[in-house]
Chains A and B, each alone.
Chain A
Amino acid sequence: AQTVTQSQPEMSVQEAETVTLSCTYDTSESNYYLFWYKQPPSRQMILVIRQEAYKQQNATENRFSVNFQKAAKSFSLKISDSQLGDTAMYFCAFMKWGGGAQKLVFGQGTRLTINP
């Protein structure tokens, strides 16, 4: 079974700073997807960024980028030029690849607060 661990329950930074959220996972699969989801106070789950395990290049989406270290089973999220609207819970998630759609396995989450 796969497990996902987020070791930082809470983080807080000033607006415009850069922040990195950590995520590690455990799996015996060689092909899989990794995701970061954002959950603001509205509780809506919003996909932030996606990484395919077979791709060596780290994914980027505007101010969001990942550091994917497959051998270390590490998948951290970097938010540059943080904004007040980035305040939310952030969840790292794992999905096994292949055989059609699969379930997501989530970490416990990191509560990120951006201070003005």
Chain B
Amino acid sequence: NAGVMQNPRHLVRRRGQEARLRCSPMKGHSHVYWYRQLPEEGLKFMVYLQKENIIDESGMPKERFSAEFPKEGPSILRIQQVVRGDSAAYFCASSPLFPKDSASYEQYFGPGTRLTVT
């Protein structure tokens, strides 16, 4: 069973460009979460999506950031007009739609995408 996949692993963008980060959840998982980790800090929740629905976006910056999880294909985190402060590691995690037990609430993390804005 393949784990959570993220690509690219490393992304370099100049200020003002757009960044698109992709996440494919584990097979059978329909919940996707995005977290951001600034240097030397813990992970901060950004957004929680199910297929075709944004459930909780309380951690998303109000401007320039958007996320989607279409019926087909990976979840996309999009950052428009990137600035140096967007440089961070972005992690995606997934969990099952119908948790069978407490272990099913666990979130399985991808390897992350390190975004560098120059």
* Residues of A participating in the B interface, judged by any CB pair closer than 8 Å: 33, 35, 42-47, 50, 52, 91, 95, 97, 100-109
Contact flag A103-B42 (CB < 8 Å), given A43-B111, A50-B103, A50-B106: no
A33/B105 in contact, CB under 8 A: yes
Query: Does any Cβ of A come within 8 Å of B56's Cβ?
Result: yes
- Give the docked Cα–Cα distance between A97 and B114 (Å): 30
Query: Does any Cβ of A come within 8 Å of B91's Cβ?
Result: yes
Q: Do most interface residues of chain B lie in helix, strand or loop, or is the interface mixed?
A: strand
Contact flag A50-B102 (CB < 8 Å), given A101-B31, A104-B43, A104-B107: yes
- Give the docked Cα–Cα distance between A2 and B96 (Å): 23
A47/B91 in contact, CB under 8 A: no
Choose among A33, A43, A91 the residue that contacts B42 (Cβ–Cβ < 8 A).
A91
- Give the docked Cα–Cα distance between A45 and B59 (Å): 20
Q: Which residues of B contact A102 (CB under 8 A)?
A: 48, 105
- Give the docked Cα–Cα distance between A101 and B98 (Å): 9
- For B56, the closest partner residue in chain A by CB is A103
For chain B residues 61-114, which have a beta carbon within 8 Å of chain A? 89, 91, 93, 95-96, 99, 102-103, 105-109, 111-112, 114
- For A50, the closest partner residue in chain B by CB is B106
Not counting A103-B33, A106-B42, a sample of 13 additional A-B residue pairs whose C-beta atoms are within 8 angstroms of each other reads A43-B89, A45-B43, A45-B91, A45-B93, A50-B103, A91-B42, A95-B105, A100-B99, A102-B48, A104-B35, A104-B43, A106-B35, A106-B43
B43/A103 in contact, CB under 8 A: no
- Give the docked Cα–Cα distance between A37 and B42 (Å): 11
Contact flag A106-B44 (CB < 8 Å), given A33-B102, A101-B95, A101-B99: yes
CB distance from A26 to the nearest CB of B (A): 15
A107/B42 in contact, CB under 8 A: yes
- Of the A-B pairs whose beta carbons lie under 8 Å apart in the complex, a sample of 17, sorted by A's number, is A43-B114, A44-B112, A45-B43, A47-B108, A52-B102, A91-B43, A100-B31, A100-B99, A101-B31, A101-B99, A102-B48, A104-B33, A104-B43, A104-B107, A107-B42, A108-B42, A109-B41
